[in-house]
């Protein structure tokens, strides 16, 4: 048995972020579909998502090696080459996001950011308004409400592709991706020499999260009351 | 107040169809939208109270509930054939009229129960009735109102 048979690829803040976000997105979807009396929770969930997204963007610059945008954003040619190989069944494992998954991360974050921000201005024309709807024209509220409705299906589509991709990796390429997002560890492939990537500082993560939460609080509570 | 609301309600129910019959199409859109706006204003107030976003004031809630119950009966009279221009109302309203009417009936019926729910003083019943009205609004919006 090899001495260093496995390395830790995802630091604790990245993992907690991932599952919190997944949980809140699912909760937001369900409460949005039910409507009243869950709409106030739909809004709170959205503020939580906004906070997590702000944290993740900061973490993409200050987090662990594998959580950084500079680590997983590669050119489109590399991503396409990777996709071609994976589709032909040749799987080249990566310590962290692979070139295709890296782009998926950014696309999902962007779609969720659009969803959370349009929600701030939205009005369901029943009894619920986003906290910033009072600050802008009704025409803008109407446009943001429409975007919030359409982008919802983009988010659902991306989430479906995301989960389907994890399943395909599991069954077609024999790569387990969900487990490492829980415990952080991946086995080093035979013949490879993977150094242990630097993990993010949990204290820094807490500080960034607190800052993100404070920003969200100002945006949805303090500013609308002015 | 109650007698007034009932009188107004009866008037609305009997006089509006006759009025709407001879009305320009764009005026029908104007009046149904006006009714929805005022309904939203009153129902929004009730919803805020039901969710503790503002303190429950029985007198205000009673007034909101009476108005909402009355206003809910108005829009249905202003969805004549051809009133599908410059509106979020979807064409499906006129191609699936029976379904639209059923959802409208449901909303009106639930809104009619608001005044009694407020009068009962039972906050749980009040909250449930507000949620039921909200659902009735949503189920119709989901199918018949453009985004």
Contacts of A39 in chain B (CB under 8 A): 134
- The Cα of B95 is separated from the nearest Cα of chain A by a number of Å equal to 23
CA distance A215 to A50: 10
- Contact criterion met (CB < 8 Å) for A35 and B47: no
Domain that holds residue B55: 2-144
The residues on A that touch B, with CB distances below 8 Å, are: 35-37, 39-40, 124-128, 145-146, 149-150
* CATH number given to A9-225: 1.20.950.20
pLDDT at B17: 77
**Whose CA is closest to A35, among A125, A146, A117?**
A125
Phi, psi of B135, rounded to the nearest 5 degrees = -65, -40
pLDDT at A169: 92
Per-residue pLDDT of chain A (226 residues; tens, 9 = 90+): 445 589 999 999 999 999 999 999 999 999 999 998 899 999 999 999 999 999 999 999 999 999 999 999 999 999 999 999 888 888 888 899 999 999 999 999 999 999 999 999 999 999 999 999 999 999 999 999 999 999 999 999 999 999 999 999 999 888 899 999 999 999 998 888 899 999 999 999 999 999 999 999 999 999 999 8
CATH code for the domain in which residue B54 is found: 1.20.120.10
Cβ neighbors of A163 (< 8 A, separation 6 or more) are none
- Contact criterion met (CB < 8 Å) for A36 and B53: no
Contacts of A150 in chain B (CB under 8 A): 147
CA distance A118 to A23: 20
CA distance A195 to A188: 9
Decide: residue A89, CB within 10 A, 0-12 exposed, 13-18 middle, 19+ buried. Answer: exposed
Q: Work out how many domains chain B is built from and give that number.
A: 1
Q: Is B12 on the interface with A (CB under 8 A)?
A: no
ipTM confidence: 0.83
Contacts of B124 in chain A (CB under 8 A): none
Considering only alpha carbons, which residue of chain A is nearest residue B146?
A146
């Amino acid at each position: 048995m090899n001495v260093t048979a496995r390395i830790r690829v995802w630091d604790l803040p990245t993992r907690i972020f991932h599952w919190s976000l997944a949980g809140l997105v699912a909760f937001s979807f369900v409460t949005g579909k039910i409507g009243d009396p869950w709409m106030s929770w739909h809004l709170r969930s959205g503020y939580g998502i906004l906070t997590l997204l702000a944290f993740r963007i900061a973490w993409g610059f200050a987090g662990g090696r594998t959580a950084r945008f500079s680590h997983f954003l590669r050119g489109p040619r590399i991503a396409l080459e990777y996709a071609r190989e994976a589709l032909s069944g040749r799987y080249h494992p990566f310590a962290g996001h692979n070139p295709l998954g890296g782009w998926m991360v950014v696309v999902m974050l962007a779609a969720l950011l659009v969803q959370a921000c349009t929600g701030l201005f939205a009005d369901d024309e029943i009894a619920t308004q986003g906290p910033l709807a009072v600050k802008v024209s009704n025409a803008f509220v109407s446009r943001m409400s429409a975007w919030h409705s359409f982008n919802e299906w983009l988010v659902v589509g991306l989430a479906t592709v995301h989960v389907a991709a994890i399943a395909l990796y599991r069954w077609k390429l024999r790569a387990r991706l969900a487990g490492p997002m829980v415990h952080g560890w991946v086995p080093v492939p035979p013949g490879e020499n993977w150094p242990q990537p630097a993990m993010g500082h949990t204290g820094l993560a807490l500080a960034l999260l607190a800052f993100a939460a404070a920003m969200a609080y100002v945006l949805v509570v303090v500013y609308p009351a002015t | 107040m109650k007698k007034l609301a009932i009188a107004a309600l009866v008037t609305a129910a009997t006089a509006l169809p006759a009025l709407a019959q001879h009305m320009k199409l764009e005026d029908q859109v104007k009046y149904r939208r006006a009714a929805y706006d005022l309904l939203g204003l009153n129902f929004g107030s009730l919803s805020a109270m039901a969710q503790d976003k503002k303190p429950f004031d029985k007198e205000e809630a009673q007034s909101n509930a009476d108005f909402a119950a009355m206003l809910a009966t108005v829009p249905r009279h202003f969805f004549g054939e051809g009133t599908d221009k410059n509106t979020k109302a979807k064409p499906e309203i006129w191609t699936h009229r029976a379904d639209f009417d059923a959802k409208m009936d449901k909303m009106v019926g639930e809104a009619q129960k608001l005044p009694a729910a407020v009068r009962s003083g039972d906050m749980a019943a009040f909250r449930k009735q507000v949620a039921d009205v909200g659902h009735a609004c949503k189920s119709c919006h989901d199918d018949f109102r453009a985004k």
